[in-house]
Amino acid sequence: MTRHLISSADLTRHDVESILATAESMHDVQRREVKKVPTLRGRTVINFFFEDSTRTRSSFEIAGKWMSADTINLSAKGSSTSKGESLRDTAMTVDAMAVDALVIRHNASGAARQVSQWVRCSVINAGDGTHEHPTQALLDAYTLRSRMGRLDGKHVVIVGDLTHSRVFRSNVITLKTLGARVTVVAPPTLMPAGVTAWSETDGFATSWDLDAVIDGDDAVDAMMMLRVQRERMSGGYFPTAREYTVGYGLTRERLERLVRRNPDVLVMHPGPMNRGLEIAAEVADAPQSVVLDQVSAGVAVRMAVLYHLLAGESAEQLPEGAQA
């Protein structure tokens, strides 16, 4: 049994469904007057953030606290440079404090995987560089499922800066795991390297033309708009914000076309949004938008992940090679 959640690919369909089912009961807890269950009493969860992220960190912090775990935030920003302490030393120092889980956010891809190989505690990837963000994909799936039921055969379109997006990388895996059909849309400069071979292997579609996807044969069930950083313009990824919006922004006019095809279409965004760039302000607030549902689902899903990783037998109690 793996003790970690590093990549969305670590989760089978059954795993995802168990977590989402648990997340539903966690959502119940969230709605109660007393938002606390004793499940993780005596467990210690360290939120180990090498990169600023108020929303993910506070989401994990609330999740831990509502589960009665002792939750501690460690900001390790700046200690990841090659001049400072090595990542291994930093991770082992924290692990030596006999913690139960490290929730790690790092600006370097793969950092969570590396740390998981050096420590005894569970490691949860809360976003590693431009690689993955598996709990984001789970909360997105939770949000979609609570609105549309099973995702089998549903058409989800992910639009934006795919190259630099860990949200895309995790979502494309989890959505496929749950049987959804995925189309990713970006200008060629923001398509990840090797996406053609990748999409063929993993079974998703790619397009440079958002309008063709919106008006295509395959009606869209959900649009997931990714944040586009304005700094990308200086890297030559696209010329101007205006041109990006015209090509790839979810404008009111595009939303109207989507709704005409499918009145139940949902609009998602992992936040923080650049209103007016990748998503029009009125679209972000439209009835189709589930952006706030995503935030609310974040706590429930992270409670469920903590529960599944930490509530059961602790790894060190298991005999060598035991299956659990």
Partner 1 sequence: MTCPEPTAPATVPQIPPDARDVMVADDISRALRRIGHEIIERNKGAADLVVLGIPSRGVPLAERLAAAISQVEGIDVPVGQLDVTLYRDDLRRQPTRAAGRTDIPAGGIDDKVVVLVDDVLYSGRTIRAALDALAELGRPRAVRLAVLVDRGHRELPIRADHVGKNLPTSREERVHVRLAEVDGADAVRISGGERR
Partner 2 sequence: MTAARGDHLTEGQGTTNGMNALLITGARLLGRDAADILVADGRIVEVGSLEAPQGARVIDADGLVALPGLVDLHTHLREPGREDAETIASGSEAAAAGGFTAVFAMANTSPVTDTAEAAERVLDLGRACGLVDVVPVGAVTAGLGGERLAELGLMARSRAGVRVFSDDGRCVADGRIMRRALEYIKPFGGVISQHAQDPRLADSSACCHEGEVSGRLGLPGWPGVAEEAIVARDVMLARHTGSRVHVAHVSTAGTVEVIRWAKAQGIAVTAEVTPHHLALTTDLLVGYDPVYKVNPPLRPSDDVEALREALVDGTIDVVATDHAPHARHDKEHAFVDAAFGMVGLETALPVVSELLVRSGRLDWADVARIMSVGPARIGGLTDHGRPLAVGEPANLTLVDPDRALTVDAAASRSRSRNNPWHGRTFTGAVHTTIHRGRVSHTVDATTRTAEAEYAQ
DSSP 319: P
- CB nearer to partner 1: give 209 or 313: 313
What the block records as the tokens of 130 is 């431009």
Window 25 to 84, contacts with partner 2 (CB under 8 A): 80-82
Burial class (CB in 10 A: 0-12, 13-18, 19+), 260: exposed
Query: Minimal CA–CA distance to 204: which of 165, 177, 166, 227?
Result: 177
Query: Minimal CA–CA distance to 308: which of 29, 21, 71?
Result: 21
- CB nearer to partner 2: give 196 or 240: 196
CA 154/CA 295 separation, integer angstroms: 22
Per the listing, tokens 């998602």 go with 268
Residue 88 found at the interface with partner 2 (CB under 8 A): yes
Residue 114 found at the interface with partner 1 (CB under 8 A): no
Q: Which stretch binds partner 1 (CB under 8 A): 27-35, 182-190, 216-224, 268-276?
A: 27-35
What the block records as the tokens of 299 is 């706590």
Residue 56 assigned ligand-binding role: yes
Catalogue the long-range contacts made by 317-321 (C-beta closer than 8 Å, 24 or more residues apart).
Answer: 318/1
CA 197/CA 203 separation, integer angstroms: 10
Residue 18 found at the interface with partner 1 (CB under 8 A): yes
Residue 322 found at the interface with partner 1 (CB under 8 A): no
Contacted entry of partner 1, partner 2, none for residue 87, CB cut-off 5 to 8 Å set by kind: partner 2
Residue 110 found at the interface with partner 2 (CB under 8 A): yes
CA 175/CA 133 separation, integer angstroms: 13
141: how many CB neighbours lie within 10 A of its CB?
A: 27
Q: Which residues are catalytic?
A: 55-56, 83, 105, 133
Determine the size of the site formed for partner 1 (CB under 8 A).
Answer: 38
DSSP 155: E
Q: Are 219 and 261 in contact (CB under 8 A)?
A: yes
Residue 14 found at the interface with partner 1 (CB under 8 A): yes
Residue 193 found at the interface with partner 1 (CB under 8 A): no
Q: Which stretch binds partner 1 (CB under 8 A): 1-9, 57-65, 277-285, 286-294?
A: 1-9
Residue 302 assigned ligand-binding role: no
Choose which of 24, 70, 95, 285 interacts with partner 1 (CB under 8 A).
24
Q: Which residues are annotated as a binding site?
A: 55-56, 83, 105, 133, 136, 166, 227, 271-272
Chain contacts with partner 2 (rule: CB under 8 A): 80-82, 86-89, 106, 108-111, 113-114, 128-132, 163-164, 166, 169, 192-195, 197-198
Q: Which residues are annotated as a binding site for carbamoyl phosphate?
A: 55-56, 105, 133, 136, 271-272
